[in-house]
Amino acid sequence: MDLNRKFTPETWPEHPETATLEAKNKFVGFWLFLGGEVVLFATLFATYLALKNKGPSGMEFSTQGLYELPLVFIMTMLLLTSSLTSVYAMYHLKNYDFKKMQLWLGITAFLGLGFLMLEVYEFVHYAQEGFTFNNSAFSSAFYTLVGTHGFHVAIGLVWITLLIFRNSKRGLNLYNATKYYTFSLYWHFIDVIWVFIFSVVYLMGVVG
Amino acid sequence: MSTAAQKKGFGATLWEWLTTVDHKKLGILYFLGGGFFFVLGGIEALLIRIQLLVPNNDFVSAGLFNQLITMHGTTMIFLAAMPILFGFMNVIMPLQIGARDLAFPFLNSLGFWMFMLGGIFLNISWFTGQVPDAGWTSYTSLAITSEGHGMDYYAIGLQIAGGGTLMTGINFLVTIINMRAPGLTYMRMPLFTWTTLIASAMILFAFPPLTVGLFFLTFDRLFGGNFFDHEMGGNTIIWEHIFWIFGHPEVYILILPAFGIFSEIFPVFARKRLFGYTSMVFATVLIGFLGFMVWAHHMFTVGLGPTANAIFAVATMAIAVPTGVKIFNWLLTMWGGSIKITTPMLYAIGFIPSFVMGGVTGIMQGAAPLDYQLHDSYFIVAHFHYVIVGGVVLAVLAATHYWWPKMFGTMLHEGLGKVTFWFFFIGFHMTFLIQHWLGFWGMPRRVFTYMDGQGWNTANAISTAGAALMGIGVIVLVINAIMTTVKNERVGNDPWGDGRTLEWAIQSPPLFYNFPQTPLVRGLDTVWIEKQEGNESGITPAVPLQDIHMPNGSIIPLLMSLGLFIAGFGAMYRLEASWGLPVLVGGLAFTFLTMSIRSIKDDLGYYVTKEEIMNDLKREGGRK
């Protein structure tokens, strides 16, 4: 593949993310990987539901007493918005507008970072109350489920940062278009998982 | 690389194999790595049988016996059966679909090195004296209280190897979905490619639960987690569910490629089109689907209740239907065919009754009330060895003889091949048939010895003698392989003479880019069709001769896996040694570093020019 081939918005393919065989492979492979990730999170959710509120006799923690919805609401808004901004980025990817795409991806990363900071704050807050990973089966399951999601967010942040800086000088080509596009798929996936965490862990924890 | 005549030094050759991303070379590495672990697991099996030869034996201690059965099961499933099948899939599947490599050659290499280092990690436990001993199923009531680091080797070793398996599964899927030659529709794909596709799809959905389960186990043992500790609110049954949600699909991941191998062998040596191709495909897909619906039949005695047991019993028996379809299709493929009894065909014919017996005992256990009687007895041991050895291992041995010429360019000795078959086949039935009765007579599985006078002595002695025969069979195979390699008599494209699929229309072993021109596929068994129409080469090219794009080799996959391997030791010794935490962090950081290098450095591959291809073809033409 020729990285130096210059495109204009007119010659840029309608679907740059699947314009070559390598790109198609990455595209399909990534969708399949996300399929595996669904099962991974399904297993974590099932375990969490089985161990929710379970602990040594006399455990003081329960979902009702622990979770605070206002904080989680702000986190949700940050992550949902970041999904929207990544859509804008992909819009500009398809229109061959590299600068605007980078800008929107930067905003996406910034929102993602905000989410992650709040999650760290939340975990530290719980730990200070005594709800540590080792506290009970409930705490182990909670931190593993929500923490695995947070770990995915962190990986996504490293990924997009590398992409933004690696390509900042050379602009879009058919080689990195797929990389950007699969990142956006990943980011949406993380977002969908969070919607489930928000509903199943936090909402059902406080209301249910 | 394109001029094979060059003589290379040992260092250069080693470097080439360590950095290779060629699917054929990685296939051979998988085959050799899996073969090594197969021998290792076989030795463990022989030690088990020697211990059980006579009552009250003290050949090994009770503790060592537990370690042997655990490592035998784990090694055979994860490190022998799957990798050897992966080896054949790697070498053969791209050839069958007319592709030049897998979709992600780099990832293929990474998958192999993760399997290899994961396997080595697990087996290093023998040298530290802290060996996994809670059974290959690692039920957590045993596993979280197991002393020493044995079960940590299990959890972390399988984590690394399992990650590699998942990647390679995705790799196979994408390859088959995207890289089939022109004209090769799904319903024209050879059955081995079909079963690779379905087994890979099962890997994609079955391995993530194992990943999660192993993380839970690691957290509980090393990081103060409480998933399985009932005093802390945990629940050990969660492990059983997670393990079998992975574990049951796993046995179909093993057996489907075995079905695929036999579906290739029967038509070639019966010289007749595979009977009921469409129903074969449908049965494969259905088995793949139902394989996910039956995990709780391993847990009938746990106490899930009669409703759950009934549902899972019915689902289990339903699997017998598509499997039966397959058995009859193979029989009818032979029916009226012009059968040639070669070594692979012997295995194929031996497989049918052996596997049917394993299937029938499976149905017996699928009946939940009867399973209460059979559970944890030697009947279970007999059953799963009948399906795994009678199905998977016979398939692996058949494929070894069948595809050896395509992998290595030489032909295994047919006479010795048949000697291997008879030793192995007779030994196999001698070892395991009697174990059904041992189960009925009340001998529980996983006991390290038994008392005299219970009527089990003769049966156990027969079983051990059978195991020795299997061992002799394998030794003959190894001798055969060495002799063949030393003699090095090269063979042509289609040494069996009746090849039907694309791999038999190109060189043995193929050029590193497989197909000088991408072939056009005109139907099921395309090479057979071409030959029937008088096209000697067996191939109609789909495109003119053009430059070929190929991937570069890389050492990064090995380094990535090495980082995880090192981190594993850090995680394990974190609590008792001061170097533990730094090594854990350092190993992971190293892996992330190599990942970043891979991400930042462009690797666009290179082109093989038309002239080089022409030269290769001229030289190959001269050799025939």
For residues B246 and B166, give the distance between their C-alpha atoms in angstroms, rounded to a whole number.
Answer: 12
Nearest CA in chain B to A47: B238
Which tokens is A38 given?
A: 């669904």
Min Cα distance A85 → chain B (Å) is: 24
CB of A93 closer than 8 Å to CB of A180: yes
For residues B333 and B329, give the distance between their C-alpha atoms in angstroms, rounded to a whole number.
Answer: 6
In chain B, which residues have their Cβ closer than 8 Å to the Cβ of A164? none
Min Cα distance B601 → chain A (Å) is: 9
pTM attached to this predicted model = 0.95
For residues B129 and B148, give the distance between their C-alpha atoms in angstroms, rounded to a whole number.
Answer: 9
Please check whether residue B4 lies inside any domain of the structure: no
Nearest CA in chain B to A28: B174
pLDDT confidence of residue B213: 97
Confidence of residue B623 (pLDDT cuts 50, 70, 90): low
Q: Is the pLDDT of residue B65 over 90?
A: yes
In chain B, which residues have their Cβ closer than 8 Å to the Cβ of A20? none
Q: For B65-69, what is the mean pLDDT?
A: 97
Q: Which of residues 6-25 of A touch B (CB under 8 A)?
A: 21, 24-25
CB contact under 8 A, B103 and A32: no
CB contact under 8 A, B233 and A55: yes
**Mutate which of A140, A152, A155, A180 to disrupt the B interface (most B C-beta within 10 Å)?**
A140
Please check whether residue B48 lies inside any domain of the structure: yes
Domain of residue B296, CATH code: 1.20.210.10
Min Cα distance B493 → chain A (Å) is: 29
Please indicate if any CB of chain A lies within 8 Å of the CB of B173: yes
Min Cα distance B489 → chain A (Å) is: 38
DSSP alpha helix (H) spans, B441-503: 457-487
Q: What angle do the packed helices B23-51 and B82-96 form, to 10 degrees? A: 150
Residues 6+ apart with CB under 8 A from A74: A118
For residue B227, give the nearest of A35, A135, A141 by CB distance: A141
In chain B, which residues have their Cβ closer than 8 Å to the Cβ of A133? 223-225
pLDDT confidence of residue B589: 96
In chain B, which residues have their Cβ closer than 8 Å to the Cβ of A35? 204-205
Residues 6+ apart with CB under 8 A from B548: B100, B513, B607, B608, B613
For residue A133, give the nearest of B103, B209, B225 by CB distance: B225
For residues B556 and B597, give the distance between their C-alpha atoms in angstroms, rounded to a whole number.
Answer: 9
Please check whether residue B611 lies inside any domain of the structure: yes
Greatest distance between any 2 Cα atoms in chain B? 77
CB contact under 8 A, B209 and A3: no
In chain A, which residues have their Cβ closer than 8 Å to the Cβ of B225? 133-134, 140, 144
Confidence of residue B620 (pLDDT cuts 50, 70, 90): confident
In chain B, which residues have their Cβ closer than 8 Å to the Cβ of A37? 208
Residue ranges in chain A modelled with pLDDT below 50:
none
CATH number of A16-31+67-206: 1.20.120.80
Which run of H or of E encompasses B549? strand B548-550
For residues A68 and B574, give the distance between their C-alpha atoms in angstroms, rounded to a whole number.
Answer: 34
Secondary structure letter of residue B448 according to DSSP: S
Q: Please choose, from the candidates A72, A108, A64, the residue with its C-alpha nearest in 3D space to the C-alpha of residue A208.
A: A64
For residues B40 and B201, give the distance between their C-alpha atoms in angstroms, rounded to a whole number.
Answer: 29
Please check whether residue B346 lies inside any domain of the structure: yes
Q: Is the pLDDT of residue B3 over 80?
A: no
CA dihedral A165, A168, A169, A174 (to 10 degrees): 110
pLDDT confidence of residue B7: 67
CB contact under 8 A, B205 and A36: yes
Q: Is the pLDDT of residue B6 over 70?
A: no
Q: Is the pLDDT of residue B464 over 50?
A: yes
- Measured CA distances, B189 to B195, B239, B536 (Å): 10, 38, 22
Per-residue pLDDT of B185-208, as tens digits, reads 999 999 999 999 999 999 999 999
Sign of the CA dihedral running A192, A193, A194, A198: positive
Which tokens is A88 given?
A: 């804008």
pLDDT confidence of residue B9: 87
CB of B70 closer than 8 Å to CB of B133: yes
CB contact under 8 A, A136 and B226: yes
Q: What is the ipTM metric for this complex? A: 0.96
Please indicate if any CB of chain A lies within 8 Å of the CB of B177: yes
Q: Amino acid letter at B488? A: N
Please check whether residue B363 lies inside any domain of the structure: yes
Q: Mean pLDDT of all residues in chain B? A: 95
- Measured CA distances, B371 to A189, B56, B306, B375 (Å): 42, 28, 13, 5
For residues B312 and B183, give the distance between their C-alpha atoms in angstroms, rounded to a whole number.
Answer: 41
Residues 6+ apart with CB under 8 A from A11: none
- CB-based burial label for A9 (10 Å; 0-12, 13-18, 19+): exposed
What is the CB-side half-sphere exposure of residue B288 using CA atoms within 13 A? 22
Per-residue pLDDT of B255-295, as tens digits, reads 999 999 999 999 999 999 999 999 999 999 999 999 999 99
CB of A50 closer than 8 Å to CB of B238: yes
For residue A137, give the nearest of B232, B596, B599 by CB distance: B232
Q: For B115-124, what is the mean pLDDT?
A: 97
Residues 6+ apart with CB under 8 A from A199: none
Q: What angle do the packed helices B306-318 and B343-366 form, to 10 degrees? A: 160
pLDDT confidence of residue B201: 97
Residues 6+ apart with CB under 8 A from A86: A104, A105, A108, A183, A184, A187, A188
In chain A, which residues have their Cβ closer than 8 Å to the Cβ of B166? 36
Q: Is the pLDDT of residue B240 over 50?
A: yes
Min Cα distance A82 → chain B (Å) is: 23
Secondary structure letter of residue B442 according to DSSP: T
Confidence of residue B617 (pLDDT cuts 50, 70, 90): confident
pLDDT confidence of residue B2: 43
Q: Is the pLDDT of residue B1 over 50?
A: no
Please indicate if any CB of chain B lies within 8 Å of the CB of A28: yes
Per-residue pLDDT of A34-61, as tens digits, reads 999 999 999 999 999 999 999 999 899 9
3-state SS assignment for residue B525 = coil
Domain that holds residue B374: 10-554+603-623
Per-residue pLDDT of B469-491, as tens digits, reads 999 999 999 999 999 999 999 99
CB contact under 8 A, B234 and A54: yes
pLDDT confidence of residue B622: 55
Q: Is the pLDDT of residue B621 over 80?
A: no
Per-residue pLDDT of B292-316, as tens digits, reads 999 999 999 999 999 999 999 999 9
In chain B, which residues have their Cβ closer than 8 Å to the Cβ of A36? 166, 170, 204-205, 207-208
For residues B593 and B590, give the distance between their C-alpha atoms in angstroms, rounded to a whole number.
Answer: 5
CB contact under 8 A, A162 and B600: yes
Q: Is the pLDDT of residue B238 over 60?
A: yes
Q: Is the pLDDT of residue B114 over 50?
A: yes
CB contact under 8 A, A136 and B233: yes
Please check whether residue B150 lies inside any domain of the structure: yes
CB of A149 closer than 8 Å to CB of A193: yes
Sign of the CA dihedral running B515, B516, B518, B519: negative
Per-residue pLDDT of B129-186, as tens digits, reads 999 999 999 999 999 999 999 999 999 999 999 999 999 999 999 999 999 999 999 9
Please check whether residue B227 lies inside any domain of the structure: yes
Task: Give the residue, B618 or B243, on which the prediction is more confident.
Answer: B243
CB contact under 8 A, B179 and A21: yes
Q: Which of residues 61-120 of A touch B (CB under 8 A)?
A: none
Strand partners, B540: B520
Query: For the residues of B44-96, what is the DSSP string, one character each?
Result: HHHHHHHHTSSTT--SS-HHHHHHHHHHHHHIIIIIIIHHHHHHHHHHHHHHH
Min Cα distance B244 → chain A (Å) is: 12
Q: Please choose, from the candidates A62, A183, A42, A52, the residue with its C-alpha nearest in 3D space to the C-alpha of residue B599.
A: A183
Per-residue pLDDT of B394-409, as tens digits, reads 999 999 999 999 999 9
Ranges of each domain in chain A: 16-31+67-206
Domain count of the fold of chain B: 1
Confidence of residue B531 (pLDDT cuts 50, 70, 90): very high
Q: Please choose, from the candidates B386, B388, B493, the residue with its C-alpha nearest in 3D space to the C-alpha of residue B430.
A: B386
Please indicate if any CB of chain A lies within 8 Å of the CB of B504: no
Q: Is the pLDDT of residue B8 over 80?
A: no
In chain A, which residues have their Cβ closer than 8 Å to the Cβ of B204? 32, 35-36, 39
CB contact under 8 A, A137 and B224: no
